[in-house]
Structure 1
Amino acid sequence: MKISNVRVYDLEESVIACRNAMRLEPPDYTEEEFQKSLERAIKLCNASKGEVKCHANFRTGIRVSFDIEYPNYISPEMQRYHWFDIVTSSSKMHRIMQMDFDRCCNQWVTAQTIEQMKQLVARYNEDPSEENFMTVLSNCPMGIMLFMRVSTNYEQLRTIYLQRRNHRLPEWRDFCEWIKTLPYAKELIL
């Protein structure tokens, strides 16, 4: 997998907001207030390790958006997370007839499968029937690389990290390594 164009939003504001339950007035969003609130945020995160619902709900306000290139077989697993919103994605259905299968398949797709896909696309191009279209679409290898823009938050990334860091698929382990690179990941996510 390849992750790029990463943006983190509202980290400072959400950390400051973690103390709102104890405030009598709205906070000042200053660097000093952030540093004071960060101590409290870390305590909340540490107090709730392992709990399904916790006191660190402020993590939902720390939003993360990124582009990801991934093999098709990861899609169903990504969709199980309730706040892993796909902003927009490449479309296998719309672009499959123009794909260069030599370039868009990962290293585990066999040469025979790639050659078969080229033959099926050629058959479709000669006769663009529904049957030929469905044959191409239905035989597309799971190792075809797709891409999308995603929005999520630190709370969901924490769930993903806890559930996938030792996953059988190397892509999930790589994704969890990427999570560790986010600002304050050690303190607020892991």
Structure 2
Amino acid sequence: MIELERTSVFNLENAMRGARNPMNSWNRMDSYYDENHEYVLGPNDLSLATRLRKAGSDHRKFIRQIMVSVDITAPLYWWKEYDTYKVATVANSTSTMHKIHAKSFELDDFSHDHLSENGLRVLNLIIANLEEIRLRYVESKNREDWYDMIQLLPSSYNQMRTCTLNYETLVNIYYARRNHKLEEWHHFCDWIGNLPYAKELIIAEEGQ
């Protein structure tokens, strides 16, 4: 299970202006803000952006300046793979260390969409035990109970993080993960594909 919410793409105007710096071609800029205050690339700017994107990483530096912020809720086993991407990413997460005991454990706190009947039965037993430990910890603040919660917590536990990335990082993620066996990565790549100008600036086939 993965949810991507509150997506915001910004700095496209500044990135596009920077893309024209090498040739001092600012007078050819034809992008504008529409009635919804969305930045729309004009034909000249879109043509330049597309050519630079396909020319390779040395020429497409401007897409590193196109920023994306998004709230992602996903299981810990997915975050373990996401954390491979440390360059040009920032994330603030909800804290299991400080807040694991703050609410009751429920089935929907865990990714269980692909569990078998037996797997679901086992997960429900774990949740019941975690909740018993949590209630005991809330009452006593016993450190052993806290460690039990932390160390017994399944990797299917869902965590929300507010993440900031740029389009260059998303190029790397898209091509590395689009055929991954985890369904969460397919949903993530679908989300990438729906970002503004993703077709031209992110998904553009290499070498074309």
TM-score range, shorter chain: 0.7 to 0.9
SS of structure 1 residue aligned to 2:101: helix
* Letter aligned with residue 88 of structure 2: W
Identity %: 32
Residue 65 (structure 2) pairs with residue 57 (structure 1): no
Give, in whole Å, the separation in 2 of the partners of 1:62 and 1:124. 45
TM-score (normalised: structure 1): 0.87
Instruction: Kindly report the root-mean-square deviation, in angstroms, between the aligned alpha carbons of the 2 structures.
Output: 2.1
5+ residue gaps, structure 1: none
- 1:151 Cα deviation (Å)? 0.8
TM-score (normalised: structure 2): 0.80
* Letter aligned with residue 45 of structure 2: S
Which residue pairs with 1:94 in the alignment? Answer: 98
- Write the deviation string for residues 92-146 of structure 1: whole angstroms up to 9, x where unpaired: 1222112332231221462122112112223323432222211111111111111
5+ residue gaps, structure 2: 33-40, 204-208
Give, in whole Å, the separation in 1 of the partners of 2:140 and 2:149. 12
Give, in whole Å, the separation in 1 of the partners of 2:61 and 2:185. 24
Which residue pairs with 2:75 in the alignment? Answer: 71
Give, in whole Å, the separation in 1 of the partners of 2:132 and 2:173. 39
Which residue pairs with 1:43 in the alignment? Answer: 51
Contact 1:16 1:37 in 2 (8 A): no
SS of structure 2 residue aligned to 1:146: strand
For residues 3-152 of structure 1, the aligned pairs below 5 Å read: 3-23=4-24, 30-31=30-31, 34-48=42-56, 53-81=57-85, 82-86=87-91, 88-102=92-106, 103-107=108-112, 108=115, 110-152=123-165
Give, in whole Å, the separation in 1 of the partners of 2:27 and 2:10. 18
Moved more, 160-169 or 88-97: 88-97
* Letter aligned with residue 127 of structure 2: I
- Write the deviation string for residues 49-74 of structure 1: whole angstroms up to 9, x where unpaired: xxxx4311110110111111111212
Aligned residues: 184
Give, in whole Å, the separation in 2 of the partners of 1:43 and 1:26. 16
Give, in whole Å, the separation in 2 of the partners of 1:167 and 1:91. 28
SS of structure 2 residue aligned to 1:74: helix
